[in-house]
Amino acid sequence: MQKLLSYLGLEKQSKSVRDHFYATNMRASIYMSIVVIVLEIWMMIRMTRTLIVNDLMGNFSHYFEKYYINYILLLTAGIVMFIFSVRFLRGKTDKKAVGLFLLYAFSFICLYFGIKVSINDYAKGEQILTFLTMEIFVVCLLIWKPIVGFLIHSSAYIYFYIRINSMVAVNTGEVGTTVATQINLFTMWISTMMFIISNYNKTLSQAQKDENLEKMNSYLRRISVIDDLTGIHNMLYFRTEAEKILSMVTTDRRNTVFLFLDIENFKSYNEKYGFQAGNELLKTFAELLEKNFEGSLVSRFSDDHFVLLTTIEGCQETINRLSDEIRHLQGEVQLSLKCGAYRPEDSERDPSQACDRARFACNNIKKHFGKSFCMYDASLEQRFQQKQHIVNNIDSAIENGYIKVYYQPVMNTANGCICGLEALARWEDPEYGLLPPGAFIEILEEYRQIHKLDRCIIEQVCRDYRAAADEHEPFVPVSLNFSRLDFELCDIVGFLCEVSDKYRVPRNYLDIEITESALTDQQSFLQTAMKKLHDAGFKIWLDDFGSGYSSLNVLKDYQFDVMKIDMKFLSGFGVNDKTSTILQNIVGLTKQLSMVSLTEGVESPEQFDFLRDIGCDRAQGYLFSKPVPLSELREKIDSGELRVSPEFVPA
Ligand code: C2E
Ligand code: CA
Ligand code: CA
């Protein structure tokens, strides 16, 4: 049934297929109407000339009725059709019903003209060619649905046949048509029908192909601007649209603001409830955003980060409201919303820069309990510029030797001598002066450049060792701080082996510190990397023990040689009674786990005495020395202020 309907052209067609047919017919109508216009003008000129030459102008009204009226009718139809189809294709009109009417009317007039002229010719004993010509003309140019074509053209043939069949044939003098004429007419009708069907099917399959292509294109267009997880727009769309908005003169910049949103603690939510639930939360939050910021540009930036371009009026209130709403979604994890806002400058055109600044403002209030909104201001701009400076100049800083290693001694509590050094990075910048790690480590981690710095520190430490060994100077094992990203961004273990071999540094002279917070989730790649480090002969220290939530899990899941007890424990010393009990127990724990204990942040002799008394193996802190350049450390040793543990002094 379906097949039959489709064969007749009666199946339901999609809008795009219908539009394709319509547009094709409109294009064809232009050629058709031009041919008709030229032809009819020429016919009228020719007719007039014949009348004048044969001196028949006196009988003009007779010829007018017989010929001119037909020419004028067809000419008018041609002109109207021409004007309409040109206007349609130029997009000046979209009145489809009018177009359809004109198309049918024009076709009927063409066919009528064919029939009329052919009957005239037939009456004169001539051929019936005009009818056939007009049939071919209409059929070739326009695409008819088979059933419609069948009805119209068959009617034309039948009507024509009936008309000439009742006329007296001039050549035979008999009424009706000859068998030859009948056969010719029938053959023509069959050909016409076949042509209609094949033309229709060809165009239909082309239209369907175009439709599929268009569907594919629109799908591609859609997925390229939609975030697949949340279904809201992605950053590609955001950047393009924001750029348009920023470049529009009508945009009220003073009222425009970029917002960067971050769901704080989302990671814990994911860990507690699983990725599926995390995804659902992001979806719900995205919907909330779209609802609350209707009419604004809302996109997912990445992970649990979203960006918006909206009006400043009332946006802080909306954020506060959202902040409340997110608490209904949080379950047992304390989620909170952080929002950074940035108002673009008058000349600003780059949405990426604006998002970066809004993000910077957002990061500024991270971990600030109770603060959910931060407007970017001049002081942030200064810090932002410094950040840009760091990201853009890390390579040249390494090349130019601006990255320096400062050493802080680690003391053996048993003899009060230096038994180790911690290598801590400093950036001596010509523009910003001496930068502490707090000013660049996190930024380099954020921009995934931290491995460059750490490799530079490894190389300098190894070089310092070799120089000291060559000079027969004392040298003690050095601990290096590694970022967890080092293991992702490069083969840091391979690099360490290579460089220590190059400078002939014994492997027990290099220790690796990994901070507790880097180890929150059990990551097999970290475990593998740490095993590689151990296998290569390096010791691994757990840095900042007790600073995070998962300290004890970390001890269970990973293998460490030294535990560095975070300095926050000592900060309560003498104020909080519990501090000493806790420290005592942690030190006891390290003994049970066969780890060496080291407490950092030792600032007073009392703290040191206490640590020694509870059996903490090592201590580090300002009491002995701040981190200093190697030359300064040497001076302290030479002056007798610090002593090196005897086992490290060359004989
Ligand atoms: P960290 O590894 O916990 O380093 C100890 C930090 O505490 C150092 O700060 C040190 O100067 C400071 N400190 C030492 N003793 C005391 C004390 O008695 N009292 C107080 N208040 N502070 C003390 P610094 O050098 O600013 O380093 C900060 C952090 O930057 C380091 O924390 C470490 O996580 C990171 N870092 C430093 N150098 C590097 C590096 O080369 N690579 C990587 N990835 N991170 C580094
Ligand atoms: Ca450290
Ligand atoms: Ca530490």
User: How many whole angstroms separate alpha carbon 272 and alpha carbon 266?
Assistant: 10
Topology, domain 235-376: Alpha-Beta Plaits (3.30.70)
Give the contacts of 283 (CB within 8 A, at least 6 positions apart): 229, 230, 231
Q: How far apart are CA 634 and CA 642, in angstroms?
A: 9
Residue of minimum CA distance from atom 37 in ligand 1: 424
- The pLDDT assigned to 578 comes to 86
CA 113 to CA 42: how far, in whole Å?
Answer: 15
> Any alpha helices (H) in 293-314, and if so which ranges?
none
Give the burial class of 638: count Cβ atoms within 10 A of its Cβ; 0-12 exposed, 13-18 middle, 19 or more buried: exposed
Which atom of ligand 1 is least distant from the CA of 424? 38
- Classify 510 as helix, strand or coil: strand
Rounded Cα–Cα distance for residues 205 and 493 (Å): 62
Give the nearest ligand 1 atom to 623 CA.
18
The CA 483 to ligand 3 mean position distance, Å, reads 12
CA atoms within 13 A on the CB side of 184: 12
> Which of 452, 481, 626, 628 gets mutated to test ligand 1 (max ligand atoms within 8 A of its CB)?
481
Ligand 1 atom nearest 450 alpha carbon: 44
**pTM, two decimal places:** 0.64
Structural element, H or E, at residue 573: none
How far apart are alpha carbons 356 and 350 in whole angstroms? 10
Q: Which residues of the chain have pLDDT under 70?
A: 170-171, 521-522, 550
Q: How far apart, in whole angstroms, are the C-alpha atoms of residue 73 and residue 515?
A: 93
Distance from residue 572's CA to the centre of ligand 1 (Å): 19
Residue 341: which H helix or E strand, with range?
A: strand 336-342
Token digits of residue 378: 């001049």
CB 6: neighbour CB atoms within 10 A?
Answer: 15
| Bridge partners, residue 403, by sequence | 427
Q: Please report the atom of ligand 1 found closest to the CA of residue 441.
A: 45
Q: Which pLDDT score is estimated for 521?
A: 67
What's the CATH code, domain 403-648?
Answer: 3.20.20.450
- Give 543 Cα–ligand 3 centroid separation in angstroms: 5
The token duo for 87 is 């206007």
Work out the angle at residue 137's Cα, subtended by the Cα atoms of residues 134 and 140, and round it to the nearest 5 degrees.
145
CB 452 within 8 A of CB 490: no
Tokens of 124: 């004169």
Can you tell me which atom of ligand 1 is nearest the CA of 437?
Answer: 30
- Please name the residue whose Cα sits nearest to atom 35 of ligand 1: 437
**Residue 281 C-alpha to ligand 3 middle, in angstroms?**
35
For position 503, what pLDDT does the model report?
97
Whole-angstrom Cα distance, residue 315 to residue 255? Answer: 11
CB 637 within 8 A of CB 474: yes
Q: How distant, in Å, are the alpha carbons of 57, 298, 381, 382 from that of 364?
A: 98, 22, 12, 13
Q: Among all chains, which residue has been given the structure tokens 């780059």?
A: 350
What pLDDT score does 117 carry?
Answer: 86
CA-based nearest residue to 311, from 362, 229, 253: 253
Environment class of 361 (CB within 10 Å of its CB; exposed 0-12, middle 13-18, buried 19+): buried
Q: How does strand 510-515 pair with strand 539-545? A: parallel
Which of 598, 600, 602, 611 gets mutated to test ligand 1 (max ligand atoms within 8 A of its CB)?
600
The 305-311 sheet, strands edge to edge: 297-302, 305-311, 256-264, 336-342, 373-375
Structure tokens at 76: 């008018």
Residue 468 and residue 441 in contact, taking contact as beta carbons nearer than 8 Å: no
Residues with CB under 6 A from ligand 1: 408, 424-425, 436-438, 441, 450, 454, 457, 481-483, 515, 543-544, 567, 600-603, 620-622, 627
| Region label for 265, one of left (φ > 0), alpha (ψ between -120 and 50) or beta (otherwise) | left
* Strand 539-545, strand 562-565: pairing: parallel
Distance CA 314, CA 395 (A): 43
Q: Quick one: DSSP state of residue 448? A: T
* Torsion region of 487: left, alpha or beta (phi above 0 gives left; psi -120 to 50 gives alpha): alpha
Q: End-to-end alpha-carbon separation of the chain, Å? A: 104
